[in-house]
Each structure stands twice: as C-alpha cells, then as structure tokens.
Structure 1
Amino acid sequence: MAMTDLLKAEEIKKALDAFAAETFDPKKFFEMVGMKAMSAENVKKVFQVLDVDGSGFIEEEELKFVLKGFSKEGRDLTDAETKAFLTAADKDGDGKIGIDEFETLVHE
C-alpha cells in the first residue's frame, strides 16, 4: 500500500515543505498531513507503511527515514530529531515505537 492511498499527496508535500528547514515536530506533521483526523484503524495502516521491515515496530533506524515513508522527496531526520520523536512516542521505554504507541502519539 502506498502512503498516497491513505493521505492526500498535496497535504504530504505541504507538510514536508514546512519541515524542510525547520525542526521536525511529529505531532504538528501528523496534523498537517491529516492523520490526526483519521480513524485509529487508518492511522495503524500508515504505521504499517512506515514499518519497513514488518517487525510490528518502528525502530530508531527506521525512524530516521520516516519522512521518506511519506514521500521519496522527504528528508532524513537528524539524530536529535530522531531521538526526540522516539522519546515522544515510546511510552513503555523499550527503544522502539509500537503500533498502539504510534496511534496514541498521532491522536494526542
């Protein structure tokens, strides 16, 4: 499944452009692409697209490239942005983001 099957390409582009030079804020980004208004079920479909290795988790290595999961034009996150994103979403402290943790972050 492609990200554009779940989200509007123009909203993805607008959100990526907004964070091209600015520090990445996952909550603001998810709101800009329309995920905050999505059902939990659809947010979990987005998670599955981002979970590149199909492990059921988004690990720190995958997180660095999360914007490329939305569009190949997306930039890599900096190490600081990756760590901040992981800290914001990893509620159980296991060093990775599970599907429920991801959905909670999007809807916070």
Structure 2
Amino acid sequence: MAMTDLLSAEDIKKAVGAFSAADSFDHKKFFQMVGLKKKSADDVKKVFHILDKDKSGYIEEDELGFILKGFSPDARDLSAKETKTLMAAGDKDGDGKIGVDEFSTLVAES
C-alpha cells in the first residue's frame, strides 16, 4: 500500500513543501495539512504501518527521522532536534518508541 492510496498526492506535496526548511517541522500542522487528521482511525493505523519501515510494530527514533520520506521519497530528513521533539510528543509511555496507539493519539491531538 502506498501513502497516496490513503492521502491526496497534492496534499502530501503541499505539506512536505511547507516544512522544507531545517527545524521548521511541526507535526500538528503537518498532520492537518497532509489530511491525516480527517482520516478514520483505521486509515491512521494504515499510515502508521507504512511509516513503520522495519515492521516492528513501532516507529523507533531512527525511523522517525525519515518520517517525511514516508510521505514523499524526495522529502528531507528531520533534524535531530525535530526528531527528539516528535518522539517526546508521541512516546506517551516513555519506552523510546511510538506504537500504533501512541501514533493515533499523536494524530488526534493535532
């Protein structure tokens, strides 16, 4: 399944482009712009599984740095600061990774 099966290619392009500058990433604005906020809980979980590159059931910090590439292959990587900020926002139980329920909560809070 591709991200464009779930989200509009135009919305993805706009959202990724809006955060092309280093240290500009804001997950709340990004999830709204990309259309994820309006998706069903089931679709949000499908997006999570696309972003979980190693299929571990979690998005670890190293995968989180490449989150924009999960939406668009030519997107930039997040900076270390952006990655840590996103991990802190999403990792509710403090285990150093974001599970599917934590991801769903992160999107819902946007």
Q: TM-score range by the shorter chain?
A: over 0.9
Unaligned runs of 5+ in 1: none
Name the counterpart of 2:93: 92
Name the counterpart of 2:59: 58
Taking the TM superposition and a 5 Å limit, the aligned residue runs for 1:1-108 are 1-21=1-21, 23-108=24-109
Report percent identity of matched pairs: 67
Moved over 2 A (4+): none
Superposed CA deviations along residues 13-38 of structure 1, whole A, max 9, x for unmatched, are 00011000161111110000111011
The alignment covers a number of residue pairs equal to 108
Superposed CA deviations along residues 47-81 of structure 1, whole A, max 9, x for unmatched, are 00000000000000100001000011110000000
Give, in whole Å, the separation in 2 of the partners of 1:23 and 1:81: 8
3-state SS in 2 of match to 1:36:
helix
Give, in whole Å, the separation in 1 of the partners of 2:40 and 2:32: 13
Give, in whole Å, the separation in 2 of the partners of 1:77 and 1:38: 24
Give, in whole Å, the separation in 1 of the partners of 2:92 and 2:24: 22
Give how far 1:97 is off.
0.3
Give, in whole Å, the separation in 1 of the partners of 2:14 and 2:62: 25
Give, in whole Å, the separation in 1 of the partners of 2:92 and 2:98: 8
- Cα RMSD of the aligned pairs, angstroms, is 0.7
